[in-house]
Structure 1
């Protein structure tokens, strides 16, 4: 029988441990190398801008100025709530927009998802039709709807035809009482297909056995929806509501393309006001303060919304 020397028996585990550490180290460096491009982009376009915005919001920095920025403390925040009526108008417009768009877009998306979830001939074509506006550039959509909203545009022509000439027509985007509503309609139409797909994916995760059991118990379609479908869609509902809310509060492109905040600031939003102050009027410090207020507001709304819609127990 061959006896292994004690020194060789002791060196073998050490050699294995060194080999394991070497392989582990190479895997770690390989993983870090693959993470590096995304990490650098996140630092450049997310972390650094957030830090700069937070820092500049407490200064009087201007985009182009020979004078260095000066620390002004909370003056920018006080100015926003006390000396800038346009900011208050933009906050109100943003609130109204989100208040209408969030429930209507979520409800309409759910309705469309329920309709296209049926096994009917041609249902795939309807899914594509409803989703086409989502993949179309919002800038292109806004330009097209801007022409449609003109006084001699397609919408007024259709209404004139349906009312047999009794409708005189409205210049939708140049009327303070209709401009925001017109943008709301466009925004709901453009994004409802995306949320329809999200609701549809949630519907298709609900087991068919639950519906069969409900039908065996004599449940009506409405009872099936309230007792089977809606409870099964709770996680999807949370995601849909949070995403719609964040997108609604960040309204910018439609306003920038269609109205430029007018008429009489009736369509100005918080994001549009911040961009206009920062780039058009070059008050980058004040614009950073508005952006910080917007960030805190969106964070609070998302947290409250998440708490209200979370699972009980």
Structure 2
């Protein structure tokens, strides 16, 4: 009996049986899983407290009329906040301004950043310095950038109007003219974010196979035709990514309007997020502002779905 018992626990070579190895491997796996959970616990807790809970609370508030810090004074109003939005012309004016800003800033920003990526995609000495310089606005505070541009666009002492005067062009009241204020914000936003898109374009450019460009050159294609017929089509996944993320960021623009123009002049730069901020933190209509925020979320979600549908309709499922 003892001989049979010993044989059942060991192999012929005297090593532990596979069953014991399996139990040990299971214990090691469970220990590794517990360690992994401990590592992700801080990030999970942060996401829960500062993202999921506020999102759920805002959805709760959108069905209540909360105009004071007390929860007891927040009566349930159902869909009344959403019905009131249908006749809220200032909110829809802000949404139109947001769409206008997005339609201007996304293509302009992509064109500028692609041009920068083509410039820095060269194997020249010191090129990394230029890449860092072009990327610096991305990591610079929006408030600091806004203050600098307020000075640059000053109608009397601004550098931009000084250059216009040297070129014998008419000076512009950039930030106080309803016809120019939004365009000025678009230019500032493009300058601020072009470095980030440049890095994305640069990654796409460096992934283009050199063999295809060399083959096009052998066939007699010049630099422009190589770019238009070879490089640009291969950048389709990068283009789709930048269009979608740019549209999402455009609908969420807030800081330049808050710091530079305060929604003016005459509401020409009053965008959705700034409008929601005013309702929530100046008028303290938290329930109504929450309903506006969820409508904005629905619009962003719908715009993203339309873009993805358009990509799939073109037969480019492999790009997303």
Name the structure 2 match of 1:101: 105
2:251 counterpart of 1:246: no
Tell me by how many angstroms 1:228 deviates.
Answer: 1.8
In the TM superposition, structure 1's runs of 4+ consecutive aligned residues that sit over 6 Å from their partners are none
CA distance in 2, matches of 1:308, 1:99: 17
CA 1:68–1:233: 2 relative to 1, 3 Å: same
Deviation at residue 229 of structure 1 after TM alignment: 0.6
Instruction: Give a deviation string over 1:200-232, Cα, whole Å, max 9, x none.
Output: 111001121111111112222233123321222
C-alpha displacement at 1:66, in angstroms? 7.6
Question: Are residue 158 (structure 1) and residue 149 (structure 2) matched?
Answer: no
Compare 217-226 and 173-182 and name the one that shifted more: 217-226
- Confirm or deny that 1:92 pairs with 2:96: yes
Q: Determine the C-alpha separation between the residues in 2 that align with 1:115 and 1:155.
A: 24
CA distance in 1, matches of 2:75, 2:36: 43
Paired residue total: 307
More relative contact order in 1 or in 2 (CA 8 Å, sep 6+)? Answer: 1
Q: 1:61·1:68 contact (CA, 8 Å) conserved in 2?
A: yes
Once the two structures are superposed, residues 243-272 of structure 1 have per-residue CA deviations (whole angstroms, 9 ceiling, x without a partner) of 211111111000010111112211111111
Match of 2:139 in 1: 135
Q: Does 1:301 align with 2:269?
A: no
1:81 pairs with 80, 86, 94, which one? Answer: 86
Identify the range of structure 1 (25-34 vs 121-130) with the bigger mean alpha-carbon deviation. Answer: 121-130
Compute the displacement of 1:110 (Å). Answer: 1.2
TM normalised by structure 2 equals: 0.89
Task: Name whichever of 119-128 and 270-279 sits farther off.
Answer: 119-128
Give the aligned partner of residue 13 of structure 2.
none
Aligned to 1:54: 59
Instruction: Pick closer, same or farther for the CA change 1:6–1:121 going to 2, 3 Å.
Output: closer
1:30 and 2:35 equivalent? yes
Structure 1 stretches of 5 or more lacking a match? Answer: none
Query: So what's the TM-score if we normalise by structure 1?
Result: 0.91
Deviates more, 1:269-278 or 1:13-22: 13-22
Alignment of 1:134-213 (within 5 A): 134-152=138-156, 153-163=158-168, 167=170, 169-213=171-215
CA contact (8 A) 1:63 1:279 kept: no
Q: For residues 65 and 36 of structure 1, what CA distance do their matches in structure 2 show?
A: 32
Q: Residues of 2 paired with 1:70 and 1:90: CA distance?
A: 28
Q: Distance in 2 between matches of 1:73 and 1:301?
A: 26
Provide the secondary structure at the position in 1 that maps to 2:175. Answer: helix
In structure 2, what is the Cα distance between the partners aligned to 1:285 and 1:189?
36
1:295–1:5 CA distance, 2 compared to 1 (3 A): same
* Structure 1 residue 4: Cα displacement: 4.9
| 1:113 and 2:117 are equivalent in the alignment | yes
Does structure 2 conserve the Cα–Cα contact (< 8 Å) formed by 1:58 and 1:289? Answer: yes
Q: Is the 8 A contact 1:64 1:282 kept in 2?
A: no
Bigger mean CA offset, 184-193 vs 219-228: 219-228
Structure 2 runs not aligned, ≥5 long: 11-16
